[in-house]
Structure 1
Amino acid sequence: MKKTLVSALTTALVVGAASTTFAAANPFSDVPTDHWAYDAVAQLAADGVIEGYGDTTFQGDKNITRYEMAQMVAKAMAKKDVSAADKAMIDKLAAEFSDELNNLGVRVANLEKNADKVKWNGELRYTYHNDQQEKSNADKRTNTLKFRLDPTAEVNDNWAVHARIDANMNVAEDEDDANAKLIRAYAEGKYDNLDLRFGKMGLFSDESDGLLVDDEFSGARVQFGNVLKTTLEAGRWNNVPDSEHSAADYQGIMFTGEQGKVSGGVAYRHFNADGFTTSEKFAGYSKNNKEDNANIWSAGLGYRFDSNWKLSGAYAQNTEADAFDKSGNVQIDYKGAENENAGTWGAYAAYRHIGQNVSFAPTYDTFGNISNKKGWEIGTEYVPFKNVHAYLYYFDGEKLEGQNNDTHSLFGRVSFFF
């Protein structure tokens, strides 16, 4: 978040910046009175907890990152001898940057302990998707409505329980039964640079920005490290294509990191399932034991030129598959839409080659109905109002199997986050 308001607010939290005392009516002229943080800033200033500069401002024209903001919030949290009311205000500000503070090693799990141990977040989204294939008259248009809840319950200073509940409706048919499902339910424990998870949780190929999978699996995950993070996963995954059984055994190891302008990672994932009915959908089929294996190697690399431009790419291969065993992606991003900041936007252009025997559940929305294809994609995102996010993507390419299989995909979405 780089708006003037927030930079002004967080700069104010630097302890001992100056010793000037200001009038309580409007001590900091660059903090708008219609923002939720204004009352907290004004009261903390009146109580002498924070101070500004000599010109009644906080030099709010200087952009700072969320990470820098978190450092300033941490300093304010370390201030002693503050009243209970001021402590509550500081806690509310710290909750805004809880993820960054956790990365800094500042534990904020108990900030809202006295108010509520369960925190609810969610989303209401409308999605339009139209997949068109050359020489096909089939209507591939879908209009769906999703209502999502993401509750988090505090257990103690180190452990919390997370869940996700999704309810989906077909808007075109005006459905009145949403078929709500529990998508995720897992316990998470954080100890310095160690993160432990047990249950049904997200399965995402971080090293390749979702080139392989964006789904859920049941099992355990262990992640440790600071600059270079190591992630170990093991469990069961149930979205195996064309299997007579509901799930496959899964094990994975990933190494991801970020240093300066460069980010990237490498990974290995193994899937094993019994009873496949076809050899082309997953990997190497054996008629003797009806066992199917997938050994997937992947790597990704990204470089951020400046605050606006980023170039990234990824490659993956399934060494057990005999067809459609490779996937790749190259993408250039400009700016980015931020839910908290109305008026922010972003755009991208990408070339994607997605083999269905290696990218089992890629994160790309334009590949929802037809995943085995290659081509160019462009997209844009915009935040017209705070926590209202609009998306529009277009893909133009061809399927990897057969001839004269040109395909086009148009994807649009509007999400309301709460």
Structure 2
Amino acid sequence: MKKQLAVLAATAVLGVTSAFAANPFSDVTPQDWAYQAVAQLAAQGVVNGYPDGTFQGQHNITRYEMAQMVAKALVRQDRVDAEQNAIINRLANEFSAELNNLGVRVATLENKVGNFKFTGDARLKFVGNEKTTDSYAYFKKDDKGHATDGFYTDKTIRKSNFNYRGRVKFEATVNDNTKAVIRVTADKEFGGKGTPAAEIDRIYVQHNFGKYLTATAGRHDLFVGGGLTYDGVTEGATVMVGKDALNASVTYGYAPDLAFKVVQGNTKDKPGTGFYKESGYADNQRDNAQLTVFQINGKVGPKVDLGAFYTKVSAVRAGNTQHMADVATYLGVKEKDLPEATEKLDFYGVHANADLGHNVKVDGEFAKFKNVKHSNAWTAGIAYGAYDMKKAGTWMLKAQYVDLDVLAPVFSSTFWTPYNQNFKTWAVSGKYAVAKNIGLAAYSTIGAKDKQGNDVAEYYRAELNYKF
């Protein structure tokens, strides 16, 4: 009886109306596996009933009504565990005919044909700087391309720019527990030469081993900690065990986005702002750093999230990184504090975020290289609002402080500040959903400086995002 009430309550909340009562399809009874499957999802909170748990209506459910419930469950498929995901996929296959012939428009279903669906996003972005001149610092090289002693600067004009990007993700269901994903991306600056070049930037297979274990292999996303050190791509494999309350993961693979981006502020000898950007731990991705990332995340009560990570770096030592010691020397780090050429570049960190209620949230993260001095990186922020891109009119404001040491282990950060090392700033941002699935965002640094106290040009960014 409880299962019946749960399913019927879910039916009411999902907007199933009596208009479908006269449809020609047969009823789904409480004895049917699909009925019981939806009841299980309802009992687990994937589908919710009325707040008081009551419902008054019929006991049997038509196939059209069941299809509508499956449609709504599909919308939440990215927020369920492996077992629930398998149930939803099986229900979608069972009711595929009804889903394809529903008279009600359901966006998720329109993007899903049989065992295949696609999603995507588009972005228009503006980036600008407060100052119009920069001095870029480069290392001199000999005729073989090897760095030599010395540093020089070139004065240049940093122009504000507009660019656009589009991404489409194709997802195929192999079976109840396996899916294959490919994402195509194209982007270009407005007025730039040529046409947008499309590339496949994600391609992977994901398999659920029961309820608590998921494995992903291929070119997929890697989000380390709270995103301060690395939010980019990895080519390898990730195994995750557990659920939201407590989970652990191990990732092994190559990380092509490992790149330093060191800022140098204004000085008497160097007007303007410049930075030295190296290509990463190695030019050839095949010779790039091999990372083994251990992570653990969990909840302390319903409103506090905690996590920690340790990243073991193989195949690369401090002596292999391009000009790491030269950059540190140029920025005033004493020679005795520089890492030995054979030093391992393992790094670790901790992070936390908390919901303080009344739409107020705080977060923070700390990271550093295990054996490298002057490598502390930390950030702390507070946000107010309840931004949800799916809900028009929702918004959020956030203030954040970022402090990155000369050799901070920050490479491809989820935070939008323009530099990764030798940089500190206040950062403010705001987001507003102008319509369903259309979000406007704006970002700005305030009082940006390098670690030596020199002024750094302020950074501005605004973007309009679309999801489909």
* Contact 2:9–2:49 (8 Å) recurs in 1: no
User: What CA distance in whole angstroms lies between the structure 1 residues aligned with 2:74 and 2:364?
Assistant: 34
Cα distance, 1:46 vs structure 2:
7.3
Residue pairs, 1:313-332, within 5 angstroms: 313-323=364-374, 325-332=375-382
User: What CA distance in whole angstroms lies between the structure 1 residues aligned with 2:307 and 2:360?
Assistant: 20
Residue pairs, 1:363-402, within 5 angstroms: 363-367=414-418, 372-400=422-450
User: What CA distance in whole angstroms lies between the structure 2 residues aligned with 1:215 and 1:292?
Assistant: 25
Measured against aligned partners, the alpha-carbon deviations of 1:6-59 in whole angstroms (never above 9, x if no partner) come to xxxxxx9844569xxxxxxxxx9xx9xxxxx75x43435778999xxxxxxxxx
Question: Counterpart in 2 of 1:271?
Answer: 313
1:70 correspondence with 2:115 = no
**Cα distance, 1:15–1:182 mapped onto 2, change above 3 Å:** closer
Gaps of 5+ in 2: 29-43, 97-112, 135-155, 259-279, 329-336
Q: Which of the residues 75, 82, 96 maps onto 1:96? A: 75
Residue pairs, 1:141-160, within 5 angstroms: 141-160=160-179
User: What CA distance in whole angstroms lies between the structure 2 residues aligned with 1:244 and 1:292?
Assistant: 20
Residue pairs, 1:16-415, within 5 angstroms: 40-43=16-19, 68=45, 70-72=47-49, 82-102=61-81, 105=84, 107-113=87-93, 114=96, 115-132=113-130, 136=134, 138-173=157-192, 175-190=193-208, 191-205=210-224, 207-208=225-226, 210-226=227-243, 227-240=245-258, 241=280, 243-246=282-285, 247-258=288-299, 259-274=301-316, 275-280=320-325, 287=341, 293-323=344-374, 325-355=375-405, 357-367=408-418, 372-400=422-450, 404-415=454-465
**Cα distance, 1:373–1:49 mapped onto 2, change above 3 Å:** farther
Cα distance, 1:223 vs structure 2:
0.6
Cα distance, 1:111 vs structure 2:
4.3
**Cα distance, 1:361–1:132 mapped onto 2, change above 3 Å:** farther
Which letter does structure 1 place at the counterpart of 2:121? E
User: What CA distance in whole angstroms lies between the structure 2 residues aligned with 1:329 and 1:235?
Assistant: 27
* Contact 1:132–1:407 (8 Å) recurs in 2: yes
Name which one, 1 or 2, has greater alpha-carbon Rg. 2
Cα distance, 1:408 vs structure 2:
0.8
Cα distance, 1:311 vs structure 2:
1.1
* Contact 2:82–2:214 (8 Å) recurs in 1: no
Which letter does structure 1 place at the counterpart of 2:47? A
Cα distance, 1:90 vs structure 2:
1.7
Measured against aligned partners, the alpha-carbon deviations of 1:253-290 in whole angstroms (never above 9, x if no partner) come to 01101231111101101223444332346997655xxx
User: What CA distance in whole angstroms lies between the structure 1 residues aligned with 2:360 and 2:72?
Assistant: 30
* Contact 1:248–1:273 (8 Å) recurs in 2: yes
User: What CA distance in whole angstroms lies between the structure 2 residues aligned with 1:134 and 1:372?
Assistant: 21
User: What CA distance in whole angstroms lies between the structure 2 residues aligned with 1:156 and 1:178?
Assistant: 35
Gaps of 5+ in 1: 1-11, 19-27, 32-36, 51-66
* Contact 2:9–2:48 (8 Å) recurs in 1: no
* Contact 1:264–1:301 (8 Å) recurs in 2: yes
**Cα distance, 1:101–1:361 mapped onto 2, change above 3 Å:** closer
The alignment yields a C-alpha RMSD, in angstroms, of 3.4
Which letter does structure 2 place at the counterpart of 1:94? A
**Cα distance, 1:127–1:49 mapped onto 2, change above 3 Å:** farther
Cα distance, 1:105 vs structure 2:
3.5
* Contact 2:229–2:412 (8 Å) recurs in 1: yes
Question: What's the secondary structure of 1:87's corresponding residue?
Answer: helix
User: What CA distance in whole angstroms lies between the structure 2 residues aligned with 1:72 and 1:99?
Assistant: 20
* Contact 1:273–1:293 (8 Å) recurs in 2: no
Cα distance, 1:144 vs structure 2:
1.1
Q: Which piece of structure 1 moves more, 244-253 or 137-146?
A: 137-146
Measured against aligned partners, the alpha-carbon deviations of 1:53-111 in whole angstroms (never above 9, x if no partner) come to xxxxxxxxxxxxxx9563449x99xx985333222222112112223343784631244
* Contact 1:134–1:405 (8 Å) recurs in 2: no
Give the aligned length.
Answer: 363
User: Which TM-score applies when normalising by structure 1?
Assistant: 0.77
User: Which TM-score applies when normalising by structure 2?
Assistant: 0.69
User: What CA distance in whole angstroms lies between the structure 2 residues aligned with 1:242 and 1:253?
Assistant: 20
